[in-house]
Amino acid sequence: MRYSNKEEFKREFKKRVYNFSIQLVYFIEELPKSKTSFIIGDQLLRSGTSIGANVVEAQGASSKRDFTNFLSYAFKSANETRYWIGLLRDTQKANKIKAEKLLKEAEELSKILSSIILSLKGKK
């Protein structure tokens, strides 16, 4: 998808990570009511919603360094989120189709964040 300017990209990316958080909340609410699901779901909720929170923080950053740091936290959270979703999928605690959809989106978010971070650091 192409954007006409950076502001449009920022706005759309912020919406995308917010919608991802919403999808995660619904996904977690459907998990079985077991101790294991609760604990993993709690970890997933923290890491998954942290992606969007850090993207929002980055957009309000006071310096390029802060901006890069917040996006790095978001990237790490996206990778952690992938781990928890995969674990729920592979232990049959979650709906496989929904887990795959969330994994795909988390992977795409991770790739976008990685690309931005590399560009900011002059490595791309």
**Tens-place pLDDT, residues 55-77:** 999 989 999 999 999 999 999 99
Q: How many residues does the chain have?
A: 124
Which pLDDT does position 3 carry in this prediction?
60
Which pLDDT does position 90 carry in this prediction?
97
- Which segments of the chain have a pLDDT < 50? none
> For tokens 């929002």, what's the residue?
56
Which pLDDT does position 36 carry in this prediction?
96
Q: Residue 15 is encoded by which pair of tokens?
A: 């919406």
27/63 Cα distance (integer angstroms):
35
pTM of the model: 0.91
Which pLDDT does position 40 carry in this prediction?
97
> For tokens 């390029």, what's the residue?
64
110/45 Cα distance (integer angstroms):
16
Maximal C-alpha separation, the chain: 47
